[in-house]
């Protein structure tokens, strides 16, 4: 007699041992069937794509006014072509050096100081054992993020006034002899801008790193403990390498935005007395385009800024890919 397996002896067991589940969403199924199976997710994604097309891609048509002498009374099509006239005018502008100096100075210092601080803050916050104390510190730290710069600007202007709390404290400690009008002094403007931006965004920026840290396997910390590693050694040899990719991605984005100087903050805190230190490229574009009605000129400056930002993004992405094997694309 021939020996038969249990499945051959009992054919009814075959569907139980090797079931075929047809969901219609496998990699080899037709495209229309996969789209139908994922229709809810595809609808959500489609709304985002439509929003991006309407507000990001369609307005790009307006960039052609950079090469035209556009007048708000006429349409873009009726405006005469002037070629690279506005670009050359910007490069010959006497304010160009001051604008670039202020923009790069503020942005690079923010990048140098403001970028690593949230990482350090997240590392130390992660080491707090008391959950209640940890939540309290985190809430206090990211609360300023939800206040607009209009509100925070008014608070800072009050604190830094002649009779503000800052002058009162310094006078009581005999650190200064007379009140200082900080927002009227260009020498203090960069410090005010950078420190207030860090204060507002420190806790909020740290949330991304805390989320990345929460994904680190506890077994790695246990192995480090067995090897005799202390808390600082665990942060350096376990936590930081584990969130290296997150740091790299955010650094690439920060480098690409180095020409952005937080226009809302600058607009609220600047005045005619600190203009020499507060005239950054974003305010320059706003002033020439909206206040002076030079729409074509401001569009040309914006286009230059966008091209430089794209170049910085590509360079930072390539450098990160070679050094850390992490990149956006």
Per-residue pLDDT band at 71 (split at 50, 70, 90)? confident
The mean pLDDT value for 84-103 works out to 94
Range scoring the smallest mean pLDDT among 22-31, 158-167, 282-291, 316-325: 22-31
Sign of CA dihedral 238, 242, 244, 250: negative
pLDDT score of 17 more than 70: no
Domains and CATH numbers, the chain: 87-324 (1.10.3720.10)
222-to-128, 160, 180, 239, 299 alpha-carbon distances in Å: 17, 49, 54, 12, 56
169-to-98, 160, 173 alpha-carbon distances in Å: 34, 11, 6
Per-residue pLDDT band at 258 (split at 50, 70, 90)? very high
Per-residue pLDDT band at 324 (split at 50, 70, 90)? confident
pLDDT score of 11 more than 90: no
Cβ proximity of 203 and 140 under 8 Å: yes
Q: Which residues pair with 68 in a beta bridge?
A: 81
Sign of CA dihedral 78, 82, 85, 87: positive
Over the stretch 157-180, which tens digit does the pLDDT of each residue have?
Answer: 999 998 899 999 999 999 989 999
Per-residue pLDDT band at 26 (split at 50, 70, 90)? low
pLDDT at residue 27, as a whole number: 55
Over the stretch 292-301, which tens digit does the pLDDT of each residue have?
Answer: 999 999 999 9
The mean pLDDT value for 64-92 works out to 92
């Amino acid at each position: 007699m021939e020996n038969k397996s249990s499945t051959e002896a009992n054919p009814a067991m075959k569907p139980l041992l090797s079931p075929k589940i047809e969901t219609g969403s496998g990699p080899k199924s037709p495209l229309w069937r996969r789209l139908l199976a994922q229709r809810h997710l595809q609808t959500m994604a489609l709304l985002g794509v439509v929003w991006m097309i309407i507000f990001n891609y369609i307005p790009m048509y307006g960039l052609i006014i950079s090469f035209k002498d556009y007048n708000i009374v006429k349409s873009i099509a009726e405006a005469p072509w002037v070629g690279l006239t506005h670009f050359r005018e910007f490069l010959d502008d006497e304010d160009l050096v001051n604008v670039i100096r202020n923009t790069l100075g503020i942005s690079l210092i923010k990048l140098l100081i403001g970028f690593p601080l949230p990482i350090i803050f997240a590392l130390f916050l992660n080491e707090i054992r008391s959950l209640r104390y940890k939540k309290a510190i985190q809430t206090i730290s990211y609360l300023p993020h939800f206040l607009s710069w209009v509100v925070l600007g008014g608070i800072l202007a009050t604190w830094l006034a002649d009779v503000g709390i800052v002058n009162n404290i310094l006078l009581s400690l005999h650190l200064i002899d007379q009140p200082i009008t900080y927002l009227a002094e260009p020498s203090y403007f960069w410090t005010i801008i950078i420190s207030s931006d860090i204060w507002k965004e420190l806790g909020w920026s740290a949330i991304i790193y805390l989320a990345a840290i929460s994904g680190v396997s506890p077994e790695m910390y246990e192995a480090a403990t067995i090897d005799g590693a202390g808390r600082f050694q665990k942060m350096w040899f376990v936590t930081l390498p584990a969130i290296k990719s997150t740091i790299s991605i955010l650094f690439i984005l920060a480098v690409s935005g180095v020409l952005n100087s937080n226009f809302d903050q600058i607009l609220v805190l600047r005045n005619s007395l600190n203009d020499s230190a507060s005239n950054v490229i974003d305010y320059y574009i706003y002033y020439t385009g909206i206040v002076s009605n030079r729409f074509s000129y401001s569009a040309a400056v914006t286009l230059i800024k966008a091209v430089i930002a794209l170049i910085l993004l590509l360079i930072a992405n390539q450098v990160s890919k070679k050094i850390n094997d992490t990149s956006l694309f």
